[in-house]
């Protein structure tokens, strides 16, 4: 140890004299976070160096998605209870999380086609297309597809969780009902629609949001809610675009490991809108 290092240690001991070092009978940071389990979950199926990158990026993304769902479900409940101020905080946090998950594609894109091809076969038919949390996020945003449930029949718990989410109101359903409770006329066919089906644009919802934007002082909280929804869809589309370009960069137009058409499928979903009236009104105003 150098003289400088010794001085630094002495200084630390003087300033941080209360730092705890005895954890024989106390919970540690690693125990609280289950780090042994978490950091032991990166099990490569090949000997390729870059498979670690591939696993970590997808696991980190799943952790962020878990937090997105945690916040989205709470936000839906807050909107349903007309606690819009609470929902704003939750939805703002979702947008910040989305920024993190979008940037993950930049790290994965350092994987080259030749590197990925050396361990791609190890994945078998496993694919991000099968991410149940991604499906849960789509369901929470109102994009419901019943045929996708077949993927999860292998796991009864996941299948039941997704089936429950399929029948539950999404964030946009909650927002539309908030419009109605706010005195804006919404057709009954929208308010009582089949929640297991994807939401389709409706004239009464379009007019209600136009009224909100044209009279924002009168409907200030609904106006803020609308902009929070736009933030989330904007980020969702950025995530989809970065996903598509990363896949194209690494495997070109090959089929996905899960059997999807790969880039062709990812380009197609870019055209889907979760909250169509909130985008149309930009042209109408």
Binding residues for heme: 243
Which of 104, 112, 158 lies closest to 136 in space, CA to CA?
A: 158
Contacts of 243 (CB under 8 A, 6+ apart): 105, 266
CATH of 50-284, one of 1.10.510.10, 3.40.640.10, 1.20.58.480, 3.20.20.70: 1.20.58.480
For the segment 206-218, the average pLDDT, to the nearest whole number, is: 97
pLDDT tens for 104-151 read: 999 999 999 999 999 999 998 888 888 999 999 999 999 998 888 888
pLDDT tens for 183-211 read: 999 999 999 999 999 999 999 999 999 99
Domain boundaries, the chain: 1-41, 50-284
**What was the pLDDT predicted at 27?**
93
**What was the pLDDT predicted at 129?**
82
**What was the pLDDT predicted at 10?**
63
Binding residues: 54-58, 116, 120, 243, 257
DSSP assignment of the chain = --HHHHHHHHHHHHHTTT-----TTS--HHHHTTHHHHHT----SSS-TTHHHHHHHHHHHHHHHHHHHHHHHHHHHHHHTT-HHHHHHHHHHHHHHHHHHHHHHHHHTTS-HHHHHTTGGGGTT--GGG-HHHHHHHHHTT---GGGGGGGTT-HHHHHHHHHHHHS--HHHHHHHHHHHTT----HHHHT--TTSPP---HHHHHHHHHHHHTTTTTHHHHHHHHHHHHHHHHHHHHHHHHHHHHHHHHTTPPPTTSS-THHHHHHHTT--SSHHHHHHHHH-
Binding residues for substrate: 54-58, 116, 120, 257
For the segment 83-97, the average pLDDT, to the nearest whole number, is: 98
**What was the pLDDT predicted at 13?**
64
End-to-end CA distance of the chain: 70
The model's confidence at residue 9, banded by pLDDT at 50, 70 and 90, is low
Tell whether the model's pLDDT for residue 1 goes beyond 70: no
The model's confidence at residue 265, banded by pLDDT at 50, 70 and 90, is confident
């Amino acid at each position: 140890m150098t003289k400088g290092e010794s001085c630094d240690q002495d200084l630390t001991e003087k300033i941080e004299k209360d730092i705890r070092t005895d954890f024989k009978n106390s919970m540690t940071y690693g125990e609280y976070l289950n780090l042994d389990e978490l950091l032991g979950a990166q099990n490569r199926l090949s000997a390729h160096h870059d498979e670690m990158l591939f696993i970590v990026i997808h696991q980190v993304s799943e952790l962020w998605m878990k937090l997105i769902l945690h916040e989205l479900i709470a936000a839906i409940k807050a909107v349903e209870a007309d606690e819009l101020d609470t929902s704003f905080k939750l939805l703002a946090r979702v947008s910040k999380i989305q920024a993190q998950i979008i940037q993950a594609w930049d790290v994965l894109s350092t994987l080259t086609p030749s590197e990925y091809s050396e361990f791609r076969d190890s994945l078998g038919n496993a694919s991000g297309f099968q991410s149940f949390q991604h499906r849960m996020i789509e369901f929470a945003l109102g994009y419901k597809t019943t045929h996708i449930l077949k993927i999860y029949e292998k796991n009864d718990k996941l299948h039941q969780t997704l089936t429950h989410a399929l029948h539950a109101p999404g964030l946009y359903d909650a927002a539309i009902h908030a419009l109605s409770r706010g005195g804006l006329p919404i057709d009954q066919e929208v308010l009582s629609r089949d929640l297991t089906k994807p939401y389709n644009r409706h004239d009464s919802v379009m007019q209600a949001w136009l009224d909100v934007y044209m009279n924002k002082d009168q409907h200030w909280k609904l106006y803020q809610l609308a902009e929070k929804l736009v933030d989330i869809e904007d980020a969702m589309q950025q995530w989809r675009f970065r996903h598509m370009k990363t896949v194209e960069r690494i495997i070109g137009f090959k089929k996905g490991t899960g059997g999807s058409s790969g880039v062709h499928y990812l380009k197609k979903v870019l055209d889907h809108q979760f909250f169509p009236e909130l985008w149309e009104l930009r042209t109408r105003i």
